[in-house]
Amino acid sequence: MKKLFIFKFMATTLVAIVMLYPFWSATGNEAGSNGVLESLGAMGFSATSTIIAAFILSVALYCRSLQKCLSLVQPSCQAMNPKMVWLMFVPFYNIVEDFFIILNVTRSIEQEAQINQHLEVVNSFGRVSGFGWCIAQVAALFPSFLGEAAGFIALIFWVVHWRLITKVNALLMIDSLDAKIT
């Protein structure tokens, strides 16, 4: 556990350095060197504010879906406390913790599938799409066209993963309703 904490701390420090680099870089004033920061700034305050607000709202709804998924899974199958998904809102740390959240949500669904017949129709438990958006999100940190492209790819994987979690939640709700009826 101590090694995991040290790893997360070091990885978070590295993420913070990469994310803050454009703000103190001597070359940060050159056109194209600030990646998404420059793109957002070019859109103006209103558009940028709207995009940021929509993103925060989307992340909150996604976290709620993940929390619901973990809450619907049998307690013995939960690989993490459902409330821990909200760590996605901790700046810098979230980039690192997202990998662990995806891993634990995937493990929880896989464990539940062992005992829940409703999940037999699920072909994927979200490992590829979940880790796909996490990896692309890390690549998106680098200020360049490739970073912006990685951000777009991360968004696609994120939506695919979110849709899968929504499907799993619907299947788990069937089980929850069955339990209330009997």
Measured between alpha carbons, how far is residue 115 from residues 76, 77, 108, 123 in Å?
Answer: 11, 9, 11, 15
> Whole-angstrom Cα distance, residue 108 to residue 123?
15
Which pLDDT score is estimated for 122?
Answer: 86
Which pLDDT score is estimated for 176?
Answer: 65
Task: Return the half-sphere exposure (C-beta side, CA atoms, 13 A cut-off) of residue 141.
Answer: 19
Which pLDDT score is estimated for 182?
Answer: 55
Splitting the chain (182 residues) into consecutive groups of 10 residues, what average pLDDT does each group show?
Answer: 90 87 59 58 81 92 97 96 96 95 97 92 90 94 84 96 96 75 58
> Whole-angstrom Cα distance, residue 128 to residue 133?
9
Q: Do 113 and 122 touch, CB atoms closer than 8 A?
A: yes
Total domains, the chain: 1
- SS3 at position 73: coil
Which pLDDT score is estimated for 80?
Answer: 97
Global confidence as pTM = 0.85
Is 71 buried (19+), middle (13-18) or exposed (0-12) by CB count in 10 A?
middle
Q: Do 150 and 140 touch, CB atoms closer than 8 A?
A: yes
Q: Among residues 124, 92, 110, which one has the least CA distance to residue 15? A: 92
Domain that holds residue 21: 2-25+34-181
Q: Do 142 and 125 touch, CB atoms closer than 8 A?
A: no
